[in-house]
């Protein structure tokens, strides 16, 4: 794109819009009038490279090199995505280690494309979570039987002052929460980063397990329903691999939502739902956040002249619309807070402390959802 077209900042506006709707699409700014500050702003918005027209002959070699590098990164990204998707379906620890090394190598080649780098860090986080999930039974047993500073009874009593009786939660949620609380008391996350990651995973998994326990049957029925098959093409445009125009515009109006539940995140989830059909499972906090927001409340918007309605197919009785929005945002934020690329400014101790606050609030909201037997 150029910088100054119909108005001075149109190029920057275009970069912002493209990177909002297509975060992984590479963009190069070519301009004769841009200042250093505008070039820096373009790269801040996600431009892969900035080329000056006044030195175009000198810059051409750099342009071609940039394009070659972009194409190589896109090809590597596509290959790694297939490998990660396969591991999600069939996790193999040894293979995960090799793929993580490949992801780190690709990250080291990326200078300005923050969206691509962020997604790659998310993949690494996902692989580590899969490894911990496969080991969690032994991990919970180890922590629960270890002699900590406080007995589990004391830890439970203190925790229940914040979230109420633990027996209102799923047994697995209870066990992993208690394990996390014991670690929180006994381990300094700054000096033991391995345990800090286990602690972060434990808190996250406790929330993920509890949300699934509340919505899994309802979502399972919905994912196999004719209602979804009729609705999905109105939300996701497969020819563009993006949200429908109506849903995209609707998201721009969702104040307090779009910063966490981005259009690209929603696109990814809807694309997977379309691809896997009734076999799709909402695994991970981000997927659950999108599902809760899209299908846990009512939505009405216009798509190319046709009114679209989503009438809370998950029927999350017990939560108001603002509470449903809040839960959806918190689920995604809880995953984001663990990503060192998204929040490098947080120390491990600050990250765990913030995560625990989110977990307490999440569980308080999930607890309000009426059990399916009450329907």
Beta bridge partners of 94: none
Beta bridge partners of 329: none
Q: Could you tell me if 118 and 45 lie in one domain?
A: yes
How far apart (Å, rounded) are the C-alpha atoms in residues 153 and 139? 19
- Does residue 140 form part of some domain? no
Q: Could you tell me if 176 and 283 lie in one domain?
A: yes
- Does residue 28 form part of some domain? yes
Q: Could you tell me if 194 and 72 lie in one domain?
A: no
Q: Could you tell me if 192 and 118 lie in one domain?
A: no
Q: Which long-range contacts (CB under 8 A, 24 or more apart) does 110-113 make?
A: 110/73, 112/43, 112/46, 112/47, 112/48, 112/49, 113/24, 113/26, 113/46, 113/48, 113/73
- Does residue 47 form part of some domain? yes
Contacting residues for 346 by C-beta, under 8 A, at least 6 apart: 337, 354
Q: Could you tell me if 210 and 309 lie in one domain?
A: yes
Q: Could you tell me if 71 and 200 lie in one domain?
A: no
- Does residue 145 form part of some domain? no
Q: Encode pLDDT of 36-95 as tens digits.
A: 777 788 877 878 778 777 777 777 777 777 778 878 888 888 898 888 888 877 888 888
Compute the C-alpha angle 347/337/294, nearest 5°.
170
Instruction: Report the chain's mean pLDDT, rounded to a whole number.
Output: 82
Q: Could you tell me if 280 and 338 lie in one domain?
A: yes
How far apart (Å, rounded) are the C-alpha atoms in residues 355 and 248? 30
Q: Encode pLDDT of 26-45 as tens digits.
A: 788 877 666 777 778 887 78
**Contact call for residues 15 and 8 (beta carbons, < 8 A):** no
Grade residue 147 by pLDDT with cuts at 50, 70 and 90: very low
CA distances, 117 to each of 48, 52, 104, 267, 346 (Å): 12, 25, 10, 18, 18
Q: Could you tell me if 87 and 207 lie in one domain?
A: no
Closest by CA to 26, choosing from 48, 10, 43, is 48
Q: Could you tell me if 87 and 181 lie in one domain?
A: no
Which residues span the domain enclosing 111?
10-133
215 against 34, higher pLDDT: 215
User: Which backbone phi and psi does 317 adopt, to 5 degrees?
Assistant: -65, 135
Q: Could you tell me if 166 and 282 lie in one domain?
A: yes
Beta bridge partners of 156: none
Does the pLDDT value for residue 139 go beyond 60? no
Q: Could you tell me if 69 and 202 lie in one domain?
A: no
Q: Could you tell me if 116 and 229 lie in one domain?
A: no
In 309-339, which positions are buried (b, 16+ CB within 10 angstroms) versus exposed (e)? ebeebbbbebbeeebbbbbbbbbbbbbbbbe
From 100, 133, 166, the end of a domain falls on 133
Count up the domains in the chain and report the number.
2
* Residues found in the chain: 375
- Does residue 148 form part of some domain? no
- Does residue 138 form part of some domain? no
Q: Encode pLDDT of 247-293 as tens digits.
A: 998 988 888 888 889 888 899 899 989 988 888 988 889 999 999 99
From 92, 117, 133, the end of a domain falls on 133
How far apart (Å, rounded) are the C-alpha atoms in residues 288 and 273? 12
Predicted pLDDT at 342: 53
From 98, 133, 168, the end of a domain falls on 133
Global confidence as pTM: 0.72
- Does residue 287 form part of some domain? yes
- Does residue 119 form part of some domain? yes
């Amino acid at each position: 794109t150029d910088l100054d077209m119909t108005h001075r900042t149109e190029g920057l506006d275009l970069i912002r819009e493209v990177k909002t709707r297509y975060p992984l699409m590479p963009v190069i700014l070519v301009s004769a009038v841009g200042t250093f500050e505008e070039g820096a702003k373009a790269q801040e918005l996600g431009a892969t490279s900035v080329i000056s027209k006044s030195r175009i002959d000198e810059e051409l070699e750099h342009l071609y090199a940039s394009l070659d590098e972009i194409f190589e990164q896109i090809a590597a990204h596509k290959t790694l995505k297939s490998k990660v998707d396969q591991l999600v379906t069939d996790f193999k620890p040894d293979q995960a280690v090799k793929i993580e090394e490949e992801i780190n190598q690709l990250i080291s080649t990326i200078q300005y494309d923050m969206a691509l780098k962020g997604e790659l860090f998310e993949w690494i986080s996902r692989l580590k979570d899969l490894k911990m999930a496969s080991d969690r039974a032994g991990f919970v047993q180890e922590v629960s039987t270890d002699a900590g500073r406080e007995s589990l009874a004391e830890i439970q009593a203190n925790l229940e002052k914040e979230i109420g009786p633990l027996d209102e939660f799923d047994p697995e949620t209870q066990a992993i929460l208690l394990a996390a609380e014991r670690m929180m008391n006994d381990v300094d996350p700054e000096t033991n980063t391995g345990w800090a990651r286990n602690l972060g995973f434990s808190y996250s998994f406790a929330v993920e397990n509890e949300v699934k326990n509340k919505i899994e049957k309802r979502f399972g029925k919905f994912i196999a329903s004719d209602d979804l098959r009729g609705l999905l093409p109105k939300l996701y445009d497969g020819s563009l691999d993006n949200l429908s125009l109506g849903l995209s515009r609707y998201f721009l109006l969702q104040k307090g939502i779009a910063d966490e539940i981005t259009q690209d995140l929603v696109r990814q989830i809807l694309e997977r739902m379309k691809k896997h059909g009734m076999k799709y499972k909402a695994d991970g906090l981000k997927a659950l956040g999108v599902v809760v927001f899209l299908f846990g409340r009512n939505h009405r918007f216009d798509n190319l002249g046709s009114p679209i309605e989503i009438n809370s197919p998950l029927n999350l009785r017990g939560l108001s619309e603002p509470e449903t929005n809040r839960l959806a945002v918190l689920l995604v934020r809880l995953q984001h807070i663990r990503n060192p690329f998204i929040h490098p400014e947080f120390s491990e101790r600050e990250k765990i402390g913030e995560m625990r606050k989110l977990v307490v609030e999440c569980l308080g909201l999930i607890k309000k959802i009426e059990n399916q037997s009450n329907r």
